[in-house]
Amino acid sequence: MQPTIVFDLDGTLVDTAGDLVAALNHVLAGEDVGPVALADGVRMVGNGARAMLRTALVESGRQPSVQDLDRMTGDFLAWYLDHIAVHSRPFPGATEALDRFAADGWRLAVCTNKFEKAARLLLGELGLADRFAAISGQDTFAAMKPDPLHLLETVRAAGGSPSRAIMVGDSNVDADTARNARIPSVLVTFGYSPVPAATLGADRLIDRYDQLFATAAGLIGS
């Protein structure tokens, strides 16, 4: 069986911080909460829109109710879907790396804590969606990262086997997911992790996308 490589999306494949923080600040403005700076918003990315909102509100001194978060998450997603690729672009070398894996017969997949609709829309706007055999979000299966089910089911949806798969991410969420699923992980050092990627226990690190193919092939033994 050909190997499968599964990518996180925000901070790994695509630099989405500008659009995510813009959506966050749009919602916060409606709640009379001051805007979050881009650098502060980056560290809130990784667990989905609801978690971003909760973190921003708590740090502003607000304790949102479940109902408030439900409403604000809906507002966030509606605005974000209308502005999903204003600033977002693939990281340098990412598209070429996808082409290299595809040329060698690897199965490509995305496993993100974005909602699936948003992930598909973003990748479509960037011309990348058709490259992936599976695109899963936090609402695709019965669990989301770091629960291993999310990653394992993504691999299976792509037609691959967990025993021949690799996870590529940028954060503790991705490293923990891969570890929980017993799948090797590669973390990028240029992503959105608030702590150095080297401290997160990944099997390998890369600084640039042109390092990924050799790194992944070495891990998978192909």
- Catalytic, 8? Answer yes
Q: Which residue's structure tokens are 């605005």?
A: 79
Identify whether the C-beta of residue 148 lies closer than 8 Å to the C-beta of residue 6. no
Cα dihedral 104, 207, 215, 109 in deg (nearest 10): -50
Residue tagged active-site, from 8, 15, 170, 174: 8
Do you know the residue count of the chain? 222
Which of 96, 170, 169 shows the shortest CA–CA distance to 128? 96
Which of 31, 100, 86, 41 shows the shortest CA–CA distance to 63? 31
Q: According to DSSP H, which parts of 31-187 are helical?
A: 38-42, 49-59, 66-82, 94-103, 116-125, 148-157, 172-181
Catalytic residues: 8
